[in-house]
Amino acid sequence: MSLRKQHTRRAVFLDRDGTLIEDRGNLRLPTEVIFFESTFEALQRLQERFLLFIVTNQMGVADGALTIEEVNQVNEHLVKQLANRGIQIVDVYCCPHKRSDDCECIKPKPYFLHNAAAQYSIDLKNSYAIGDHPHDVVFAENVGAIGIYVLTGHGAKHQNELNGDELVLPSIAEAADWILDQ
């Protein structure tokens, strides 16, 4: 008798810049990170029912504007700041490529979602992604998850690129409320 691995854990996949922290372009230093005020409380509530992941496109690396070490340093700082408030980020996934590289991992390609599902037994169809770019919604939809578009960061600027079917909410706070109401 073989036991099939069950994918039973639900997750929220969080975009980084413009969703958890202010979008200030290419971040090189931990001191450049500014969290949105509502990020901590939103994640504290979400983690009671969901595993939390960060998925970020950092095309500045491919452009030569910043190094992967700088990106990793900023990500480690972010994870530590969240941990100081009792929030556990299970994993941070980063695509360092630019769109013309045609890599496998850039959002909205669901590469990192499949990775997380395989490694952490995530039930993707009952999971969520939150982000301030239309590709964050498509990213979720590509695996049957639910994507939520937030108007922080570049959200307001890209709103005209939405197709009209997306769930649009003001910020991570309302996104957390909505998810926890499901």
- Does 12 interact with Zn ion (rule: CB under 5 A)? no
CB 24 within 8 A of CB 64: no
Catalytic, 181? Answer: no
DSSP designation for 81: H
Catalytic, 177? Answer: no
Return d(Cα 111, Cα 95) in angstroms, integer. 10
Map the footprint of Zn ion across residues 123-182, applying CB under 5 A.
none
Select the residue interacting with Zn ion from 59, 105, 167, 168 (CB under 5 A): 105
Return d(Cα 151, Cα 134) in angstroms, integer. 11
Min CB(112)–Zn ion separation in Å? 9
- Does 59 interact with Zn ion (rule: CB under 5 A)? no
How distant is the alpha carbon of residue 59 from its chain centre?
A: 15
Select the residue interacting with Zn ion from 95, 140, 173, 176 (CB under 5 A): 95
Cβ of 123: how many Cβ atoms within 10 Å? 14
Given 17, 23, 132, 136, which residue is catalytic?
17
Catalytic residues: 15, 17
Residues that bind Zn ion (CB under 5 A): 95, 97, 103, 105-106
